[in-house]
Amino acid sequence: MYKAILFDLDGTLTESGEGITKCVQYALEKLGRPESDLEKLKVFIGPPLMEQFMKYADMDEATARKAVEYYRERYSTTGIFENRPYPGVEKMLQELRRKKYLLAVASSKPEYYVKQILDYFNLTEYFDEIVGSEMNGARTNKTEVIEETLKRLGLDHHREQVIMVGDKEHDVLGARKAGLDCVAVSYGYGTEEELVASQPLQIVASAEEILDFFA
């Protein structure tokens, strides 16, 4: 029986693609590597940012660190708000709270930004814990974020009572490595192919179907 639900943020609770891709585009432009196709930059939604800059643009660590700095220049003032909750998310959270579930956010995004976003959309009140990465790049790995969340909830010795909900293979694989089940959402930024391959407990198509799963 699950007692606590951990939610990813980008692609699970909020549709954040516009802000993220435009900030990546801004950073690449400043580094002299322009990319006009925002669609190609959707691979940056979900994974740790620095790791993705190194992988996508074949950057060394120092250049990727600079790219993250440029990304945050735009993100902290503009990109963070190019974002919106998915349909039915607030109602789902209200209902899960009513059912007495412990709720937490476990995101690879810096915790500072995660809290700002949840405050902006008036969603903070639904969560017992809000966990993200550190601004200095520490704790970006999904399993590390989940481990920190379990610790803060006091459930690191009761993993069978906790489940993750996310939209990318990183969520499913990170949860599995931490000994948790994971429900994947198909409306986010993960491809159907990657979600099927990562073998979550179930794939759902809306906030309503998440609620049905926990009914």
State pTM to two decimals.
0.93
In 3D space, the residue among 36, 9, 5, 53 whose CA is nearest the CA of residue 170 turns out to be 9
pLDDT tens-place string over residues 165-207: 999 999 999 999 999 999 999 999 999 999 999 999 999 999 9
Task: Compute the distance between CA of residue 204 and CA of residue 215 in angstroms, rounded to an integer.
Answer: 14
In the block, which residue shows the tokens 């432009």? 29
For the record, the structure tokens of 62 come out as 């120092």
The full DSSP string for 44-104 is: GSSS-HHHHHHHHS---HHHHHHHHHHHHHHHTTTGGGS-EEPTTHHHHHHHHHHTT-EEE
In the block, which residue shows the tokens 């073998």? 199
Show the CA angle centred on residue 89, arms to residues 162 and 157, nearest 5°: 10
Active site (catalytic) residues: 8
The rounded percent of the chain whose pLDDT value lies above 70 is: 100
pLDDT of residue 137: 84
CB atoms < 10 A from the CB of 122, how many? 10
In 3D space, the residue among 165, 138, 117 whose CA is nearest the CA of residue 51 turns out to be 138
Strands (E), the chain: 4-7, 14-15, 84-85, 102-110, 129-133, 162-166, 181-185, 202-204
For the chain, domains (ranges, CATH) are 4-15+84-213 (3.40.50.1000), 17-81 (1.10.150.240)
What single letter denotes the amino acid at residue 140? T
pLDDT tens-place string over residues 104-148: 999 999 999 999 999 999 999 999 999 999 999 899 899 999 999
* C-beta separation of 46 from 80 below 8 A: no
What is residue 106's three-state secondary structure?
strand
